[in-house]
A and B are shown apart, each in its own frame.
Chain A
């Protein structure tokens, strides 16, 4: 049963769709959405920070003033950690036709480099919308306020692209971006990954992921959690993620039905 809770439905056919009608309707609307079939997402990832950030983006562009979004999100994810949409994100968003967020494919226990205080991240960019070019990409990682540290203490966060992983020698890395952070800082750190994402798109075999390294003020590698970085085993709504903005570079023709 569905509630007739909004006047918009007042003149709509007041009856349940029959199964056949529903299937027809679903097929037609999926073709409008440009989807070959209806997705079946894993339940557990719904708590990630990415959906919250994307919901913020959605509400930024939704025409109505009342923020959208399922009650699911209003109850499940606390809003205080919802990643804030920066003015830069809004500019990217204005120019984009599609935005995608990607979850980190490396689980904490798979992260073999964990002992050496290096965190590894991998994102699957193979399922991106056809005929769209990347206009911007950001790697986002949450930093908590660190209580037990001297608030004037600083750390350096470096993000590297993995260039080569030779079997018997050191990994070859390219420094992409770095950021000085205070122990007392809190919020999302944003690293520009536009060039790297475009490279991974054109040469998927070069997509070997990212390494994140934290150094203290003496240049010593330290455990990223020491600076409050949520690198993978923190609460789900602070999971690091990649967000990519796309612009359609051709008119998408619907598949023949």
Chain B
């Protein structure tokens, strides 16, 4: 069970919300806010060194596809959404107590690195590996 916020007596006499009520609440909320019902997934985002005007000192690459994660982590989490076991439980509890427990968040589950080749001020050349620069997969956390 998720405890209510401090100071507010959990009102035992209040009828336990049924899952149906929660479903109605979610549908209403979704319709009103026009929240995209799209599930959590990876979206394109390109970082262009060229658009930043850096092609005089960055030799390669010209930019990189970094991607970002967005989408709903709503119960029941679909099979294509990587979700931790905890996230599945949290979506359910959010259903029953939407004011108390937030939905899980849609975030990267796998990140990959890139390498950048560039000149330094002394015109030496540097090849550097950077970790965690590209989203490989998203999921509910």
Contacts and interface: CB of A to CB of B under 8 A. Distances in A.
B36 interface: no
A112 interface: no
Contacts of B122: 41, 103, 124, 127
Contact of B60 (A11, A29, A58): A58
A98 B127 CA distance: 6
Interface stretch (B19-27, B45-53, B72-80, B99-107): B45-53
Contacts of B123: 41-42, 45-46, 48, 103
Contacts of B128: 33-34, 97-99, 129
B32 to A, nearest CB: 26
Nearest to A33: B116
Interface string B92-113: 0000000000000000000000
Contacts of B118: 33, 39
A124 B129 CA distance: 22
A26 B43 CA distance: 22
A51 B115 contact: no
Contacts of B117: 54-55, 58, 69
A68 B118 CA distance: 13
Nearest to A97: B129
Nearest to B117: A58
Interface string A61-95: 11000001110110000000000000000000000
Nearest to A41: B119
B121 A62 contact: no
A17 B51 CA distance: 8
A30 to B, nearest CB: 9
Interface residues of A, number: 48
Interface stretch (A2-10, A178-186, A191-199): A2-10
A40 interface: yes
A12 B63 CA distance: 13
Nearest to A9: B46
Given A70-B60, A98-B128, A127 B46 contact: no
Contacts of A16: 51
B118 to A, nearest CB: 7
B29 interface: no
Contacts of B43: 11
> Counting chain A CB atoms within 10 Å of each CB, which of B46, B53, B130 scores highest?
B46
B62 A70 contact: yes
Contacts of A207: none
A153 B56 CA distance: 44
B20 to A, nearest CB: 37
A161 interface: no
B44 to A, nearest CB: 5
Top-3 shortest CB links A-B? A41-B119, A45-B123, A68-B60
29 contacts: A2-B51, A8-B44, A9-B44, A9-B48, A10-B44, A11-B43, A25-B52, A26-B52, A26-B54, A33-B116, A33-B130, A39-B120, A41-B120, A41-B123, A51-B59, A54-B127, A55-B60, A58-B117, A62-B60, A62-B61, A68-B61, A69-B59, A70-B59, A70-B60, A70-B62, A100-B124, A124-B124, A127-B121, A127-B122
Interface of B: 43-48, 50-57, 59-62, 65, 115-130, 133
Given A40-B56, A102-B124, 16 more contacts: A2-B51, A11-B44, A16-B51, A29-B47, A33-B116, A39-B121, A41-B119, A50-B124, A54-B59, A57-B127, A58-B117, A61-B129, A98-B127, A100-B127, A103-B122, A103-B123
